[in-house]
Amino acid sequence: MNESVNDIVNSEYKYGFVTDIESDAVPRGLTEDTIRLISKKKNEPSFMLEWRLKAFHHWQTLKDEPTWQNFSYPPIDYQNIIYYSAPKKKPTLNSLDEVDKELLDTYEKLGISITEQKRMSGVAVDAIFDSVSVATTFSEQLSKLGIVFCSFSEAVQKHPELIKKYLGSVVPHTDNFFAALNAAVFSDGSFCFIPKGVKCPMELSTYFRINAAETGQFERTLIVAEEGATVSYLEGCTAPIRDTNQLHAAVVELIALDDAQIKYSTVQNWYAGDKEGRGGIYNFVTKRGKCAGKNSRISWTQVETGSAITWKYPSVVLLGDNSVGEFYSVAVVNNRQIADTGTKMLHIGKNTKSTIISKGISAGRGENTYRGLVKVSPGASNARSYTQCDSMLLGNRCSANTFPYIEVRNNSSSVEHEASTSKIGEDQLFYCKQRGIDTENAISMIVNGFAKEVFKNLPMEFAVEAQKLLGVSLEGSVG
């Protein structure tokens, strides 16, 4: 990203500051009225309110959160969350000059420049502060190509037909507990539409920031790439240090039509809680892409270093013939962090292909779980799937688990899964030290090398940031 990003990360969590901004929040708790209020505040058309209410009523019938995961967490009191919080001064933006100065400073501090003058070159940014999008850059230039890149709220106003068509088409509100909750209360997010034949000329990026206390963040991202379109999208996130847990339950939907390509990269660095596990974000996210068209490709790359608990499985439904799904992941846990993450590749079309590369790094008392599903339907002739899943352990109080589920119902397909777990190489450490490199740097170097296969799928600027994050996340993990 820009320069300030490069020097962000050299100590503990640097994004832990709180911005003092007046916010406009709905009362704590969740009832039908809360949803009506959110919808009204956002001035939504009636189809949106109906959609939300349907999701809410479904959510009410779901008694419990899922229980199959490999960890437990204190019960979440859904009536004690503030479901909508927005910076008060947020006007309908005509120009970025109207954005609150405090807010701009916040993003400046995070290393994300959204002011006109200092925009990072070649990356269009949509910044989400607590529940709402505060600024989207480059919209105009992009719109000349027919690309829509704006906040979800704006898209609801300006492109209701697209929203109507695609919203919930990949992750229906019935999908799971958190998806239902998100559908009912989501406040904002990014929307991105690349029309037929257009190759998006720059990286699109959303930067998420939770600021207010006791709010949940429920955003929704929807990306549609029409026939032959391509887009690369980046997502970054941070939150202040607070000693209570905060819920982040986002939904991301990707749709790729014939010959379209979507590359979605995440560097997740929500506040992870302190050494004893106090505070931190519960990052319970549903991400799914649909390769709806033939020859389409969806690629997820994620670097997960933050959050107290990360629980997500960016997935690809491979519907179109010859479509390709990819998942590249690095997940680091330190101290008391928990990550239960992986992917689902659902092969439905013929000649579909999936590749899964997962690198888990556990330190401190962290618990790292890879959980993945590869499913080949009877119609998915010649499907191919390859999974490589490696875990590295630093220290003897952490754990690494690997739970792949493989279900195959087509005999012309081939599915391969390989996994390994081992300690960081003693010989490698000694070799580094013999060349004068101290333990901490040696570990960071070896771990980065271990994760290289994933990093190389990130856009350059992100890769640099990710590498540094990795080093920072592991600080103090040995000794």
Partner 1 sequence: MAEQTKTSEEHYIASYHNRRSNGGKNAPEWLRLLQDEAIERFQSLGFPTVKHEEWQFTNIAPFLKTALAPSTPAAANVRREILEEFLVHSDAPVIVLVDGYFEEALSSVPDSTGIRVQRYDAVSAQQPSEQTLSALAEISSASQKNPFSALSLALTQNVIMIDVPEGAQVSQPVHVLHLSTQTGKEAAMVSSPTLLVHAGKESSLLLLEVFTGAADADYGVVSAAGVVIQEGATVDHVRVQREGAKAFHFGTLAVRQERKSRYTAFSLAMGGSIARTDVTIAIDGEDCETMLDGLYISAGEQLVDHHTFIDHRYPNCSSREIFKGIVTGKSRAVFNGKIYVHHEAQGTDSKQTNKNLLLSNEATVDTKPQLEIFADDVKCTHGATVGGLDPAGLFYLKSRAIDEEAARDLLTLGFAGEVTAFIRDESIRHLIDALIVKQLQTMVAHTALPEIVH
Partner 2 sequence: MNDTQMKDEYMLEIKNLHASVAGKEILRGINLTVNAGEVHAVMGPNGSGKSTLAQVLAGHPSYEITEGEVIYKGKNLLEMPPEERAKDGVFLAFQYPVEIPGVSNSYFLKAGLNEVRKYRGLETLDALQFLKLLKEKMKIVEMDPSFINRPVNEGFSGGEKKRNEILQMAVLEPTLAILDETDSGLDIDALRIVSEGVNTLKRPDNACIVVTHYQRLLNYIVPDFVHVLVNGRIVKSGGKELALELEANGYDQIKEAATV
Which residues, numbered 422-451, are part of the site for partner 1 (CB under 8 A)?
422-423
Q: Does 420 bind partner 1 (CB under 8 A)?
A: yes
Q: Does 433 bind partner 2 (CB under 8 A)?
A: yes
C-alpha 193/C-alpha 335 separation (Å) is 40
In whole angstroms, how close is the CB of 177 to partner 1 at the nearest point? 16
The sign of the dihedral angle between the CA atoms of 394, 397, 398, 404 is: positive
Q: Please select the residue that binds partner 2; options are 47, 71, 405, 430, rule is CB under 8 A.
A: 430
Which residue type, as a one-letter code, is found at position 104? L
Q: Does 162 bind partner 2 (CB under 8 A)?
A: no
Q: Does 35 bind partner 2 (CB under 8 A)?
A: no
Q: Does 230 bind partner 1 (CB under 8 A)?
A: no
The nearer residue to partner 1, 97 or 416, going by C-beta atoms, is 416
3-state SS string over 194-230?
ECCCCECCCEEEEEEECCCCCECECEEEEEEECCCCE
Contacts of 101 (CB under 8 A, 6+ apart): none
The alpha-helical segments, DSSP class H, found in 95-138 are 101-109
Stretch that binds partner 2, among 152-160, 169-177, 240-248, 436-444 (CB under 8 A): 436-444
Q: Does 396 bind partner 1 (CB under 8 A)?
A: yes
Q: Please select the residue that binds partner 2; options are 445, 464, 475, 478, rule is CB under 8 A.
A: 445
Number of residues lying near partner 1 (CB under 8 A): 35
Q: Quick count: other Cβ atoms within 10 Å of Cβ 432?
A: 18
Q: Please select the residue that binds partner 1; options are 393, 446, 447, 470, rule is CB under 8 A.
A: 393
Using alpha carbons, select from 257, 259, 269, 330 the residue that is nearest to residue 300: 330
Number of residues lying near partner 2 (CB under 8 A): 24
Using alpha carbons, select from 225, 253, 229 the residue that is nearest to residue 167: 253
Contact 220, 288 (CB under 8 A): no
Stretch that binds partner 2, among 220-228, 243-251, 256-264, 435-443 (CB under 8 A): 435-443
In whole angstroms, how close is the CB of 455 to partner 2 at the nearest point? 8
Contacts of 33 (CB under 8 A, 6+ apart): none
SS3 at position 427: helix
Q: Please select the residue that binds partner 2; options are 437, 464, 475, 478, rule is CB under 8 A.
A: 437
In whole angstroms, how close is the CB of 442 to partner 2 at the nearest point? 8
Q: Quick count: other Cβ atoms within 10 Å of Cβ 199?
A: 14
Q: Give rounded-to-5 percent helix, strand, coil for the chain.
A: 25, 35, 40
C-alpha 451/C-alpha 393 separation (Å) is 13
**DSSP line for 136-175:** E-SHHHHHHTT-EEEEHHHHHHH-HHHHHHHTTSSS-TTS
Q: Please select the residue that binds partner 1; options are 409, 433, 452, 456, rule is CB under 8 A.
A: 409
The nearer residue to partner 1, 201 or 378, going by C-beta atoms, is 378
419 binds, among partner 1, partner 2, none (CB under 5 to 8 A by kind): partner 1
Q: Based on C-alpha coordinates, what's the Rg of the chain?
A: 21
In whole angstroms, how close is the CB of 74 to partner 1 at the nearest point? 23
What secondary structure letter does DSSP report for 81?
S
In whole angstroms, how close is the CB of 223 to partner 1 at the nearest point? 32
412 binds, among partner 1, partner 2, none (CB under 5 to 8 A by kind): partner 1
In whole angstroms, how close is the CB of 381 to partner 1 at the nearest point? 8
In whole angstroms, how close is the CB of 438 to partner 2 at the nearest point? 5
> What x/- string results for residues 357 through 376 when contact with partner 1 is judged by CB under 8 A?
-------------------x
Contact 294, 258 (CB under 8 A): yes
Q: Does 478 bind partner 2 (CB under 8 A)?
A: no
Residues in contact with partner 1 by CB under 8 A are 68, 376, 378, 391, 393-423
Residues in contact with partner 2 by CB under 8 A are 425-428, 430-439, 441-442, 445-446, 448-453
